[in-house]
Amino acid sequence: MDLKTFIRDVPDFPKAGIVFKDITPLLADPAAFAYAIGEMAKPVAALQATHVLGLESRGFIFGAALAQKLSLGFVPARKPGKLPRAAFREKYGLEYGEDALEIHRDAFKAGDRVLIVDDVLATGGTANAARRLVEQTGASPIALTLFIELTFLPGREKLSGLPVFSVLRY
């Protein structure tokens, strides 16, 4: 299945010069979405993960589906102020600004093996912040799996030492 046919480019969103990868056509097609999740699961199925960490917000969609497929627990990494209990926070830079992610302080424990999941890898700031969040809990980030990797940006380089798996590359 050619999954690229389910991705729309939206120029100048969220700001001029950015080409946004719109995944909503993929999500609207149950066969294509199931195929995408299956492709994301293949390289990580044998890694013995205990949890999936899904990154807000589109990483929630892929992460929850992947956790279900792999029979793993799911933990959301949220934007600041969205979690009701004590949380760790990590700031990161985007290609168009700055933001932060949070996870509950008790989301993971020592010995947990966490698979980080997102929709797109661009500059690597979000994924690297997620890795640092996992490490703060005492758990081990074991890999990053995502749907799209923008290879013309330095995301993979920022994640040295963390295996990165992507289904589509642009």
Residue 71 to residue 37: CA distance in whole angstroms: 13
Tokens encoding 6: 């389910």
Q: What is the 3-state secondary structure (H, E, C) of 70-119?
A: HCCEEEEEECCCCCCCCEEEEEEEECCEEEEEEEECCCCCCCCEEEEEEE
Q: Which of 58, 78, 90, 102 is catalytic?
A: 58
Task: Please say whether the beta carbons of 144 and 165 come within 8 A.
Answer: yes
Q: Which of 8, 95, 105, 169 is catalytic?
A: 95
The verdict on whether 95 is a catalytic residue reads yes
CA atoms within 13 A on the CB side of 87: 19
Active site residues: 58, 95
